[in-house]
A and B are shown apart, each in its own frame.
Chain A
């Protein structure tokens, strides 16, 4: 199930490349996995938001012409320029721009930090924790539950 066409997916991918952490010791997560995550998430949103989501992506993409300003759309800009452009949206005076970038950026980061390898790198080993406390619960309280 996906509400995003190839054009929207390209914009999300271009944004993900900016938003995702990179560097030494930072676990990599493939951009297409992030795009798939976002595309899968959008249909679950309220219908009006799901319909407006690609419109917002279009604003991000084409807004580059006059907000950057740039001769190419957002997804065709260099990574460094895209980074500056996104930073401009994050700190924009117009609230709609801030809200829009917050939503798309938020989904990309949700996808990234929900990756099990990233979680483990951060010390979030939830599976072993739940297994341990569940076993301990049974050991202590089996007769009462």
Chain B
């Protein structure tokens, strides 16, 4: 059963409910674990701060949808050198509603690092395979239908082939995606298999309950164990206050993402004996590079990412296409006035690509004066050099693809007109705050491990300090994964759900 803010506010009464499990957050982690537990016979309540929207309500005006579907309208800054713009979903389905649905298993090399460096012996490809398989089936992971691949992906592919760079076709959670390329603002056709159209229906069909438009403020305990949560219904857009919600549960799962989960725990002063909550903040910093071609290429048509260039993945660099509507592209350029139009008039000839860096450094997430997230991340020299190298390689591929001009993510060098100019990026040190950076991948802020002095949760996702309190989102990653994290989040959350079902006597007696 789904209850929205409007329904609860109309009733006008505070709500108190009991359940076996309460899950805070309905994104990749929350959705997956909630459905797993509900289908395993447990009574499950999911609470989502954002609103519930279906594809019928997904419009094509990007700013309107950003205000509805994104936390802070996608404008949360991670302060540091450089400042990084962080975007995440805040709606039923979480960031899966607004992401590109890229679906990769955790790379073997990453799992090996987690085993060796964090003692997570069960994190082997073999032991995780059943969870990956289950998740991939649930969200329909597969290659794109050829007709949905956009010209941008084909152009990048040709450039990579010319240079001998390896690429892989996109694996995405989708059913016959038609290349509307509106993934970031809610899929208008329901082809994208977000949590909204996969795990949420499964949860509800299994008797689970979902409250949307409710912000959780407190995780309650009896002094030892977690006993549930309390919060208040708030209109997801206007913030209007509604009745209070109290959920009493045997197990409490926090799955608000790697930024909001540590904020909730820090505000409650919970599970931080290791002093690691909010630390180890990883974000895969990435930068955008735009190629301008001689002819219209309609890069805004076709699936958001048709392939990924993986030639440099072992160096921590991944390159792919990611075209956005004109407004979002224009605001990222340093131009204004007539100069802006001179550049943007070629929008239909532009191809936006991005390079993502697997971070070796980390930042922090804390709580600001208003109880909101305060993110800090200074990119380290190694990662910064990798980012510049990624920009250079992306530019090289764009020129090899036939671009006549490449628009760069640097204030001091807005564009270059020939591949010969790429070398200029390495001639002088580039100030870190001169680079445009953004991210949609947050990880690591409640990392799992085998040593409670250096981790927040145990290898199953349960708090070392508060029994019955679990974390099931990218917070638990002990390190970066270098690829899109959705499938890893879902697989680990499913694994935690399975653990709870297999240990009923311990948690639900």
Name A's B-contacting residues (CB within 8 A): 1, 18-23, 26, 37, 40-41, 44-49, 83, 86, 90-91, 95, 98-99, 102, 105-107, 109-114, 116, 118-119, 122-124, 126-127, 129-130, 133-134, 136-137, 140-141, 144-145
**Chain A interface, DSSP helix/strand/loop, else mixed:** helix
State whether B180 touches A46 (Cβ < 8 A).
no
Q: A133 contacts which chain B residues (CB < 8 A)?
A: 148, 178-180, 189, 301
Instruction: Kindly identify which residue among B300, B334, B338 contacts A90, using a CB–CB cutoff of 8 Å.
Output: B334
State whether A49 touches B75 (Cβ < 8 A).
yes
Q: A136 contacts which chain B residues (CB < 8 A)?
A: 147, 178
Instruction: Kindly identify which residue among B176, B180, B329, B341 contacts A145, using a CB–CB cutoff of 8 Å.
Output: B176
State whether B61 touches A114 (Cβ < 8 A).
yes
A23-B341, A102-B334, A133-B148 are known; give 5 further A-B pairs, CB within 8 A. A41-B75, A111-B63, A123-B347, A134-B189, A140-B145
Given contacts A20-B337, A113-B344, A122-B345, are A127 and B60 in contact (CB under 8 A)?
Answer: yes
Q: A46 contacts which chain B residues (CB < 8 A)?
A: 72, 75-77, 368, 372-373
CB of B450 closer than 8 Å to a CB of A: no
State whether B332 touches A126 (Cβ < 8 A).
no
CB of B73 closer than 8 Å to a CB of A: yes
Q: B191 contacts which chain A residues (CB < 8 A)?
A: 137, 145
CA distance A133 to B147 in the complex (A): 10
Q: A23 contacts which chain B residues (CB < 8 A)?
A: 338, 341
State whether B372 touches A48 (Cβ < 8 A).
yes
Chain B residues 59 to 117 lying within 8 A of chain A, measured CB to CB, are 60-63, 67, 72-73, 75-77, 83
Instruction: Kindly identify which residue among B72, B334, B347, B411 contacts A122, using a CB–CB cutoff of 8 Å.
Output: B347
Q: B11-19, B320-328, B418-426: which lies at the A interface?
A: B320-328
Q: B148 contacts which chain A residues (CB < 8 A)?
A: 133
Interface magnitude class on chain B: 35 or more
CA distance A86 to B335 in the complex (A): 11
CA distance A5 to B232 in the complex (A): 29
Ranked 7 nearest A-B pairs via Cβ: A21-B341, A123-B348, A106-B331, A44-B73, A114-B327, A137-B178, A113-B327
CA distance A21 to B369 in the complex (A): 38
State whether B325 touches A114 (Cβ < 8 A).
yes
Instruction: Kindly identify which residue among B176, B337, B345 contacts A140, using a CB–CB cutoff of 8 Å.
Output: B176
CB of B452 closer than 8 Å to a CB of A: no
CA distance A93 to B369 in the complex (A): 29
Q: Taking each of A110, A118, A136, which has the highest tally of chain B beta carbons within 10 Å of its own beta carbon?
A: A110
Instruction: Kindly identify which residue among B72, B325, B344 contacts A126, using a CB–CB cutoff of 8 Å.
Output: B325
Q: A1 contacts which chain B residues (CB < 8 A)?
A: 238
Instruction: Kindly identify which residue among B62, B72, B77 contacts A114, using a CB–CB cutoff of 8 Å.
Output: B62
Q: List 24 A-B contacts (CB under 8 A).
A: A19-B340, A20-B337, A21-B344, A23-B341, A41-B63, A44-B72, A45-B72, A46-B373, A47-B370, A48-B369, A48-B372, A49-B72, A49-B77, A102-B334, A114-B61, A114-B325, A119-B326, A130-B60, A130-B182, A130-B189, A133-B178, A137-B176, A137-B189, A140-B176
CB of B175 closer than 8 Å to a CB of A: yes
Q: Taking each of B178, B347, B348, which has the highest tally of chain A beta carbons within 10 Å of its own beta carbon?
A: B178
State whether A111 touches B178 (Cβ < 8 A).
no
CB of B188 closer than 8 Å to a CB of A: yes
State whether A130 touches B188 (Cβ < 8 A).
yes
State whether B176 touches A21 (Cβ < 8 A).
no
CB of B296 closer than 8 Å to a CB of A: yes
CB of B451 closer than 8 Å to a CB of A: no
CA distance A102 to B433 in the complex (A): 13
Chain B residues 266 to 317 lying within 8 A of chain A, measured CB to CB, are 296, 298, 300-301
Instruction: Kindly identify which residue among A86, A113, A123 contacts B298, using a CB–CB cutoff of 8 Å.
Output: A123
State whether B300 touches A134 (Cβ < 8 A).
no
Q: B76 contacts which chain A residues (CB < 8 A)?
A: 46
CA distance A114 to B330 in the complex (A): 10
